[in-house]
Amino acid sequence: MMKLSKTYIEGMYILKDEKPRLVTQNKTPGKAVYGEQLINVEGVEYRTWDPYRSKFAAAYLSGMKQLPQIFDEKILYLGVSTGTTASHFSDILDKGLIYGIEFSPKVMRKFFRLSEQRTNLVPILADARKPEEYSKFIFSVDLIYQDVAQPDQATIFGRNANEFLKQGGKGVLAIKSQSIDVSLEPEEVFSNQMKELEDKFSLSILEFSTIDTFEKKHAIIVIEKA
């Protein structure tokens, strides 16, 4: 029999079936977003959350203990792409919303269509390196989530945290070491990125973990703005 249990992140559940899977309750029943499975448990539909497609799910399953809550938050999502991870945040959100920043028009068209079905998604076609391009749409946010695979990942995150993250706000930053420097060991790249977040942008590191089981040479950093 299928059994649903809570995780420490409100709205993210573990469905214990033949093999345990992460799920969120589908806000648009009958509709999948990226080919994930839809599963009915006692008359309520859930969507499986694939850790090979979403680094937030990978971070949870890699044992991270300090991932932030999503439930009531105003979230700035840098590199939202077509909305794979954002769709699960959208499922979880109660009163909050997600500003999704993406600079590829082709990708953004798909996210825009998703936002027509999910009213807590706000699509913004812009370059995350230029917060001034979208500062007129956003005042302050509780959480920044970033997944952009660029050489200057910490700098992009730091600038956006300076501009938009409220005092006491949290951030989750996915680091792809191969986009930064292929000649260095990933551990050195991760450590340089954390140093920049702390020294240049005065952000505190709450937790760090690689997510090698799901994505090679990637890490997740959870920060707080003091």
| Residues near ligand SAM (CB under 6 A) | 54-55, 79, 81, 84-85, 101-104, 107, 127-129, 147-150
Q: Among 220, 161, 226, 166, which residue's Cα sits nearest to residue 193?
A: 220
Closest contact distance (angstroms) between CB of 217 and ligand SAM is 13
Cα–Cα dist 54/119, whole Å: 21
Nearer to ligand SAM, 104 or 202 (CB): 104
Virtual torsion, Cα 59, 65, 68, 70, nearest 10 deg: 70
Q: Among 64, 30, 25, which residue's Cα sits nearest to residue 48?
A: 25
Closest contact distance (angstroms) between CB of 60 and ligand SAM is 13
Nearer to ligand SAM, 127 or 207 (CB): 127
Nearer to ligand SAM, 38 or 125 (CB): 125
Closest contact distance (angstroms) between CB of 39 and ligand SAM is 20
Closest contact distance (angstroms) between CB of 42 and ligand SAM is 29
Classify 208 as helix, strand or coil.
strand
